[in-house]
Amino acid sequence: MRLAGKVALITGAASGMGRATAGLFAEHGARVMVADMLEPEGALVVAEIAAAGGEAIFQPLDVAEEPQWEAALAAVLARWGRLDVLVQYAGISGSNTNNLFDTALWDRIMAVNARGSFLGVKYAVQQMRAQGGGGSIVNISSISGNVGQKGIHCAYNASKAAVRLITKSVATQEGAAGIRLNTVHPGLLPPMRTSGITADPVTRAKMMQHVPLGRDGRVEEVANAVLFLASDEASYITGSEVHVDGGYLAN
Ligand SMILES: NC(=O)c1ccc[n+]([C@@H]2O[C@H](COP(=O)([O-])OP(=O)(O)OC[C@H]3O[C@@H](n4cnc5c(N)ncnc54)[C@H](O)[C@@H]3O)[C@@H](O)[C@H]2O)c1
């Protein structure tokens, strides 16, 4: 029970790594807001957590829309009266286009991945300060936030680099309030719903040549790193980044 008594809001929790993290957090005693645009899938995650004896609620949320963040925060406070942990998984891929200079795609990727993460940090910090400080924010960047990759729209790399630096910047400002912010950088995990060429087996095999551990990561392996950073075990860690990438960034 590494999150006993804590209230956690997890975006992108209807699918993939966010879903795995929501389940793991509930197992460790957290009360979890499953926030996502996908309502039926999110409701299923809540039902799974309830069936396992945990506590969760679903909140519809488009992270790019500021009023929806206000509504999500109001809902978490109405239900549990506080917010201790924010984890931001909500994101869209940059590997589903043939036009690597598509301006509309730049705008949407930046709106969801970068602006969305900024808004989440803004509302979580505001609430954590209002309740007297403390709290942990874990933002999901990527190996793509550290290095470029062929075939991926540069907006994806730029947005994930923004996530990395939003996190470090606010970590320096909020340390005095005891609010910790860190990033987790997954490598080759099961493809995102919005993946294009990075879901293609031939492309993945080429990328795999750069993974020292020689295999895909598992969603649970990312969830475990996020659990650690969210918990009080990571009490002296802020502004840091954890690469859960099988060694990709060590090359
Ligand atoms: N899968 C990978 O290989 C990989 C690698 C590195 C980083 N990441 C990052 O990890 C995070 C999770 O990826 P995943 O593999 O679980 O992907 P996924 O596609 O399975 O899940 C992403 C979730 O985000 C939600 N989402 C998308 N846009 C949203 C919005 N505007 N508002 C709210 N929710 C929204 C989706 O509905 C979905 O439930 C993403 O930020 C992604 O960029 C993924």
| Single-letter code of the amino acid located at 154 | C
CB within 6 Å of ligand 1 — which residues?
A: 11-12, 14-18, 36-38, 61-64, 89-92, 112, 116, 140, 142, 186, 188-194
> How much is the pLDDT for 113?
98
Q: How confident is the model at residue 167 (pLDDT cuts 50, 70, 90)?
A: very high
> How much is the pLDDT for 111?
98
User: Which pLDDT tens digit goes with each residue over 234-246?
Assistant: 999 999 999 999 9
CATH of domain 7-244: 3.40.50.720
Contacts of 166 (CB under 8 A, 6+ apart): 114, 117, 118, 121, 139
Q: Order of strands, edge to edge, in the sheet holding 85-88?
A: 55-60, 31-36, 7-11, 85-88, 136-140, 180-186, 241-244
**Of all protein residues, whose CA lies closest to atom 12 belonging to ligand 1?**
89
Whether 156 is catalytic is yes
Q: Cα(44) to centroid of ligand 1, in Å?
A: 17
Give the mean pLDDT of 60-69.
98
Q: Of all atoms in ligand 1, which is nearest to the CA of residue 38?
A: 37
**Of all protein residues, whose CA lies closest to atom 26 belonging to ligand 1?**
90
> How much is the pLDDT for 239?
99
Choice from 15, 34, 108, 248 to test ligand 1 binding pocket (greatest atom count within 8 A of CB): 15
User: Which pLDDT tens digit goes with each residue over 73-127?
Assistant: 999 999 999 999 999 999 999 999 999 999 999 999 999 999 999 999 999 999 9
Token duo for residue 84: 């201790």
> How much is the pLDDT for 84?
99
What letter does residue 214 receive in the DSSP assignment? -
Mean pLDDT of the chain: 98
Distances (CA, A) of 73 to 9, 34, 88, 138: 9, 12, 14, 17
Identified catalytic residue from 89, 123, 156, 248: 156
Query: For residues 181 and 170, is the Cβ–Cβ distance under 8 A?
Result: yes
> How much is the pLDDT for 30?
99
- Output phi, psi for 31, to 5 deg: -95, 130
- Whole-model pTM: value is 0.99
Percent of the chain with pLDDT over 90: 99
> How much is the pLDDT for 20?
98
User: Which pLDDT tens digit goes with each residue over 197-234?
Assistant: 989 999 999 999 999 999 999 999 999 999 999 999 99
> How much is the pLDDT for 159?
98
DSSP string, 182-209: EEEEE-S-SPPTT-SGGGSHHHHHHHHT
Q: Cα(93) to centroid of ligand 1, in Å?
A: 8
| Buried/exposed code over 5-37 (b: 16+ C-beta within 10 A; e: otherwise) | ebbbbbbbbbbbbbbbbbbbbbbbebbbbbbbb
Query: For residues 83 and 30, is the Cβ–Cβ distance under 8 A?
Result: no
Q: How confident is the model at residue 15 (pLDDT cuts 50, 70, 90)?
A: very high
**Of all protein residues, whose CA lies closest to atom 31 belonging to ligand 1?**
62
Q: How confident is the model at residue 38 (pLDDT cuts 50, 70, 90)?
A: very high
